Amino acid sequence: MRSAAVESSAGGDVPDVALPVVDFGPQLAGLLPRGADRCVVARPQRIDAERRALFAPMSQAEELAWLPGVEVLAYASAEREQRGGPGARVTYLRVEGGRDAVRQAFEQGSGMSVRWGDFDCGADGCRRVRAAFVGEGLLRIERGRFRPGSRPGAERRCRALVKERPDALEVAATRARSVQRGGLVLPLRGSSVTHASSRGVRVVREELMASREAAALVLEDGARGMALLTPLRVQGVAPRLEVEGELVRRELSLLWEDLALRRDDRRRLREAEQRADALERMKPAGDVDLRDREAVVAQVGYRLGSLRTGSDERDGLRAEVRGLLEGALGVAPGDEGLALMLVELLLSSRGEEADARPFIERFVDQPGRDGRWKLYRRHVAALTGARELAAALLADELVPRGKARRAARAIIERLPTAASYSSAEREVLTALGDEAAGRQRPR
């Protein structure tokens, strides 16, 4: 028999992933400090990586809970407003992986400047984010100075919700120490529960207002009240709204397909903004001073960015990039960085690959040069034929002499369907290595 909580998940489906053997949500909720004005507990392990990325924009948790480079099993945070100063937040993450790998992925994914190792505010007055592992796989993060209250706050409700709803993807709770702010009527307290299923997500939020009159105002304000009081961050979707006495109940359901469409819309908007920005910053190629390396690299970057976002002027922009790099190399022929950029452009342009050969030959045999030159030499050799590629494979000591021609033919055969030359080469050399290991294995 299914539980009521499971029945209430989006679309009425059973969650599409098995509930984990160990649920770290209650543990992390129990660590939250007393006196929080807002708290969130999430269980990212309930959904796969693709759906985490779809859900993250509407989550009430921080982006940290859904970082793609970190395997977060559970998340909990508590926030407290401070009179006369900035607020404070304490966050706990239960993560998998080595500490160094988690730390690196966290810093790269979050973009935060973090001081690791202790929680002393130091000379910066708690303005900087502090983080440390406080147990095996348990990361604590602090922003500001969280001064625990004398009485329990929203964290007590989060602890109860996460235990009552073991199949919830996310729970959250709020309390207000003032029922008005900036002309907006706030709830005395509120809570939300999010369930995920194979079809989508369903969020139910309940808020207790100070009076029936205040609740009626929320009903009159409709979707605007949802946007102001509950930052679900899902534009253009009106929740179902019910009012009973002082209690306001909102319900929002979205299919995974709808969330994917919204993600694609955000990406297209972002790309359009990037194209507009690049076009605004681009100078005519003829006005760029080829002696100014920084200016050349900047103008090349604007054009490459526009190419990556699908500009309609692809051929013209590619020609301008090539012209700028060739012109700059005419001024500074020994600039390896510019040469690498040019060769990578030529090797990615159908019909222009052979033009990369002179630049490759200029640098490939010089001591201390970038290791990519040898790879690019083999790429150009493959376009000539198996004999030249076999010679390059032997020169770079990648295959024994008796297998060079066979390996070259196999690489060339894979090129039309491979993602790149390097992937085709890697597949063939790996297969040859496995074959050799199989012959040497005792029978």
pLDDT tens-place string over residues 347-404:
988 888 889 999 999 999 888 888 889 999 999 999 989 999 999 999 999 999 889 9
Question: In the chain, pLDDT over 90 holds for what percent of residues?
Answer: 41
**Between 309 and 70, the higher pLDDT residue:** 70
The encoded tokens of residue 123 equal 């000379």
Question: In the chain, pLDDT over 70 holds for what percent of residues?
Answer: 82
Region 66-75 average pLDDT: 89
User: Residue 13: is its pLDDT beyond 60?
Assistant: no
pLDDT the model gives residue 184: 60
Region 115-139 average pLDDT: 81
Q: What is the pLDDT of residues 398-429, one digit of tens each?
A: 999 889 999 999 999 998 888 889 888 988 98
pLDDT the model gives residue 44: 95
Confidence band, pLDDT 50/70/90 cuts, at residue 125: low
The SS3 assignment for 443 reads coil
Of 14-23, 124-133, 151-160, minimum mean pLDDT range: 14-23
User: Residue 10: is its pLDDT beyond 80?
Assistant: no
Q: What is the pLDDT of residues 281-336, one digit of tens each?
A: 788 888 889 999 988 988 888 888 777 765 557 788 889 999 999 999 999 999 99
- Is 34 within 8 Å of 155 (Cβ atoms)? yes
Pure H helices in 68-115: 99-110
- The Cα–Cα gap between 59 and 39 comes to 13
Confidence band, pLDDT 50/70/90 cuts, at residue 275: low
pLDDT the model gives residue 328: 94
Average pLDDT over the chain, rounded to whole?
82
pLDDT the model gives residue 230: 42
- The Cα–Cα gap between 78 and 180 comes to 21
Q: What is the pLDDT of residues 186-213, one digit of tens each?
A: 788 899 999 999 999 999 999 898 888 8
- Is 140 within 8 Å of 91 (Cβ atoms)? yes
Q: What are the sequence ranges of the domains in the chain? A: 4-258, 265-440
- Sheet of 240-244: strand order equals 114-116, 129-135, 138-143, 85-96, 71-82, 38-42, 170-175, 189-196, 200-208, 247-255, 240-244
pLDDT the model gives residue 430: 87
Query: Whole-prediction pTM value?
Result: 0.60
Q: What is the pLDDT of residues 249-273, one digit of tens each?
A: 889 889 999 889 888 888 877 776 7
User: Residue 160: is its pLDDT beyond 90?
Assistant: yes
pLDDT the model gives residue 5: 34
pLDDT the model gives residue 223: 44
Region 74-101 average pLDDT: 87
User: Residue 242: is its pLDDT beyond 90?
Assistant: no
The encoded tokens of residue 355 equal 């033009």
Of 58-67, 82-91, 139-148, 349-358, minimum mean pLDDT range: 82-91
